[in-house]
Chain A
Amino acid sequence: MRTAVGIVASLVMTLSACSTGERVDLGGGSSGRLVAAIAGEPDQLDPNKTSAYFSFEVLENVYDTLVEPDADLQMRPALAESWQVSPDQLTWTFHLRRGVTFHDGSPLTGEDVVYTYRRIIDEELSNADKLSAVTDVRAPDPSTVVIRLQQPTPNLLTNLGGFKGMAIVQRKNVESGQIATHPIGTGPFAFESQKSGDAITLKANGSYWAGAPKVSGVIFRFIPEKSTALSALQVGEIDWTDSIPPQRVNQIKDDDSVNLAVTPSNDYWYLALNEARKPWNDMRIRQAIAYGIDRDAIVAATSYGTAAKNQLAVPKGSFWYTDYNRYHYDIEQAKRLLHEANASPQNLDMLVTTEYPETVTAAQIIADNLAPLGITVNIRTVDFATWLDEQNSGHFDMLMMGWLGNIDPDDFYYAQHHTNGSSNAQKYSNPEVDRLLDAGRVETNQDARAGIYRKAATIIGDECSYIYLYNPSVIQAWTKDMSNYDARRDKAIRFRTASITEGGTQ
């Protein structure tokens, strides 16, 4: 071994004489290219079809939506420059920005918007529920799109532009079958190439409607190991990453060569008890679990203190935030509730997945927390494919999962807690909550609407449809050479205005 180390060391030295700390160059002259490391490879690049965050990290820079959220998640003009709503709230007329072109040079027209929305509705893509109130979409002329609704939809703008899943795609690109691997959008960067397992390269769209990007392109490298990504950032091989080990956040804070953002996000993590199974259908027993778990310990262990505890879904700072602190770690209270319900559950089958390690970590704490109540938590750790199967077929007592990318309160509560909600795997049902969630969908007065959701959320929290745990933080780091970039709370990664000072790296 000693000789070997000698050989290797001398080999290494010879090689390193060639160049040190070079920037990543995937060919094609990368001067001024921003190199970003994400933790995994996009499954596909069709924005209307993918559900993977890795895909959206890339596609955020390739595509546009009619409207889009600003830093405060207020919806602003994007492909649509302006819009009017009819007095009955049932007809929305969008005026498209003129002169917008796809990356292949063809102009964007109202037909593309109609085609995209019809595609999502007719092919029943997973985002079809965002358009569930739409009865008709048409383009009376190339720069106008008219959307008709069956009921007033105050969150229509959020539905149309909240994330790039609703991006406007090009018919030709879809019909040629190229969109999944060679997407053509209208966004600030155009897709250039992908190397399987390695990287995706985008080049700047000089004619972007909001101004050409300041960098000549973006290379998204896939670096799954967080400590490797961090090392790559620290030596200057990459400019930006969100693949960061939370336990090293404090250390990065002290690193002068790196900018760090720890921003509260709109994501949330929760526990759900299966109400189709006894005894979890009894609200008091679910409340006993809510009192029986130590949220502080869970937050500390899963996020090293970077997440914000929350007993409801919507994070602090949002317009829709409701202050709610009913539960605290109280074993005696939990025991009282179990006694009151005259129940003594012995076993709890908890479904967690290695895909989201925080669920595995939290499960161990929860198992420890619930032991004094006489409940043995059987932690079942499976891969995500199995997890989804088990969730959908109701094979669990309790599960832990998170939701991301929510902006409007309807996103936060409807699908999860309405009796007919498409994501109500825990089978919660309360007619009052259903009524409120339905009313929230059509209430156009912002304050009245906030009141409705405050009421609904409080009932959901009280009755433990979900036992909410925390809002994680968006954790991103980038080099000091990179400017005009900010971490967004909706985790959209926008490099359209970012710039890189050359020669700064190594």
Chain B
Amino acid sequence: MTRLGRSPVLVTNPVVRFLARRLLYSIVVLIGVLVVVFALVHVVPGDPVRIALGTRYTPQAYDALRSASGMDRPLIEQFFGYMGSALTGDLGVSFRNGDPVTVTLLERLPATVSLAFVGIVIALLIALPAGIWSALHEGRASDAIVRVTSQFGVSIPDFWMGILLIALFASTLHWLPTSGYRPLFDDPAGWLRHVILPGLTVGLVAAAIMTRYIRSAVLEVAAMGYVRTARSKGLPPRVVTMRHTVRNAAIPVLTITGIQLATILGGVIVVEVVFAWPGLGRLVYNAVAARDYPVIQGAVLLIAALFLLINLIVDALYAVVDPRIRLS
């Protein structure tokens, strides 16, 4: 019985056990998210039927639309109906236009992933060198410059930065388009041209936050005994920095990168609005405004799933960068 013989191996393999446990845990979290969201959207005042009808409507029209959209059924019945179909990947249809929510989400996801990916790459390109440099030159002028600049980056509102970038790169220099989105696989060059300004806006804000984290993480490690030992045993400064300081500072860097990435994936509404970017953030925002419950629930579920996925990846990367961390 090979099957029986194999399964204990699978169960005892720590990586598989880790993944299985995390998956199970993720499903529990997702169900919890669903319950909370379902309760919240129904508690918040505002009636989707009324919104759909606008300001000019008759009570008859109201009742007709309400029963057509299933809103007149008991809440608990609506919830279990939704749960049942959600398990099969059917997230229902939008109250507003009858579009399947799953299709809409999948249509929006690439734009959001593009923006998040480009944003985090830009952020890392800036924050890693700036943070490390600043920490290694603590107290000197260059450190002060990095700190002041990143403080500035944290404080500047992202819509303002977005508008400034449009004014400079689109309106004045005519280098890049003001707004809009192109799918990567249809038009790679167009994708890149359109993603740069929103990516830069998201990236600069994230970079400012991450620079400060990276700086303090490196400073903390640099103060450790083993770094002093490494230095005193005559290792060249570059080797000390790269192998001992930076590598050990990687854990907090991974954490903050994961958090930033998840935040951007969850939707950066303001940036999406400024650049007319068809991401998840605006979808959720508009769905909330219209009380389009199926879209809100589906989008929140997707965002929660993305969050969990990134957590999982970050956890796995912990183990890669630091063998001391067990997958437990």
**Chain A interface residues toward B at CB < 8 A:** 1, 3-4, 7-8, 11-13, 15-16, 18, 20-22, 24-25, 27, 37, 40-41, 43-46, 49, 51-52, 123-126, 128-129, 177, 180-181, 195-199, 221-225, 227-229, 231-232, 234-235, 237, 355, 383-386, 388-392, 401, 403, 415, 422-423, 506
B32 contacts the other chain (CB 8 A): no
Q: Report A-chain residues with C-beta under 8 Å of the C-beta of B47.
A: 385, 388-389
**Contact present for A231 and B97 (CB under 8 Å):** no
- Interface segment out of the listed B55-63, B240-248, B318-326: B55-63
Residues of the B chain whose Cβ atoms lie less than 8 Å from the Cβ of A40? 286
List of A residues within 8 angstroms of B193 by Cβ:
15-16, 18
Contact between B178 and A15 (Cβ–Cβ < 8 Å)?
Answer: no
Cβ A4 vs Cβ B122 within 8 A: yes
A1 touches B153 (CB 8 A): yes
Give Cα A82–Cα B129 distance, bound, in whole angstroms: 75
Give Cα A1 to B288, complex, Å. Answer: 36
Stretch in B80-88, B164-172, B228-236 touching the partner? B164-172
Contact present for A3 and B129 (CB under 8 Å): yes
Q: Which of A16, A198, A227 contacts B163 (CB 8 A)?
A: A227
Contact (Cβ within 8 A) B176 A1: no
The CB with the most chain B CB atoms within 10 A, among A22, A123, A198, is that of A198
Residues of B43-68 whose CB lies within 8 A of A:
44-48, 50-58, 60-61, 64
B36: chain A residues at CB < 8 Å are none
Complex Cα gap A345–B57 (Å): 33
Which of these binds chain A: B6-14, B103-111, B213-221? B103-111
Does B257 touch A at the CB level, under 8 Å? no
Provide the bound-state CA to CA distance between A300 and B181, in Å. 36
**Min CB gap B54→A, angstroms:** 3
Take A1-B126, A386-B46 as given contacts and tell me if A181 and B98 are in contact as well, using a CB distance cutoff of 8 Å: yes
How far does the alpha carbon of A231 sit from the alpha carbon of B279 in the complex, in Å?
Answer: 21
When distances are taken between beta carbons in the complex, the residues of chain B under 8 Å from A386 are: 44-46
Q: Which of the residues A16, A44, A49, A423 comes within 8 Å of B176, measured between beta carbons? A: A16
Q: Is A423 a contact of B56 with CB atoms below 8 Å?
A: yes
Q: Is the pair A4, B98 in contact by a Cβ cutoff of 8 Å?
A: no
Chain B residues whose CB sits within 8 angstroms of the CB of A46 once the complex forms? 97
Considering the complex, give the chain B residue whose CB is closest to the CB of A180: B97
Provide the residues of chain A in CB contact with B111, threshold 8 Å.
197-198
Question: Which residues of chain A have C-beta atoms less than 8 A from B278's C-beta?
Answer: 195-198
B178 and A231 form a contact (CB under 8 A):
yes
Chain B interface (Cβ within 8 Å of chain A)?
A: 44-48, 50-58, 60-61, 64, 96-99, 104, 107-108, 111, 122, 125-126, 129-130, 146, 149-150, 153, 159, 163, 166-167, 169-171, 173-181, 186-187, 189-190, 192-193, 196, 200, 204, 207, 273-279, 282-283, 286, 288-291
State the CA gap A197–B107 with chains docked (Å): 9
**In the bound complex, do residue A388 and residue B179 qualify as a contact, i.e. CB atoms below 8 Å apart?**
no
Known pairs A224-B273, A231-B167; A388 contacts B180 (CB<8 A): no
Q: Is A198's CB under 8 angstroms from B45's CB?
A: no
Residues from chain B with a CB closer than 8 A to the CB of A126 are: 53-54, 56-58, 61
Q: How far is B191's CA from A25's CA once the two chains are assembled, in angstroms?
A: 12
Across the interface, A15 reaches (CB within 8 A) one of B57, B175, B181, namely B175
| CB neighbours of A52 from chain B (8 A) | 54
B283 CB to nearest A CB, Å? 6
Do B282 and A197 have beta carbons less than 8 Å apart?
Answer: yes
- Distance between B35 CB and nearest chain A CB, rounded to angstroms: 22
User: Are A401 and B55 also in contact (CB < 8 A) when A24-B180, A196-B278, A198-B180 are?
Assistant: yes
- Name B178's contact: one of A44, A232, A506 (CB within 8 Å): A232
A355-B289, A392-B50 are contacts. A124–B58 as well, Cβ < 8 Å? yes
Q: Are A196 and B107 in contact (CB under 8 A)?
A: yes
Q: Which residue of B lies closest to A120 (CB)?
A: B61
State the CA gap A318–B175 with chains docked (Å): 47
Q: How far is the CA of A52 from the CA of B97 in the complex (A)?
A: 12
Shortest 6 CB-CB contacts between residues of A and residues of B: A385-B46, A51-B54, A197-B278, A44-B97, A16-B175, A4-B126
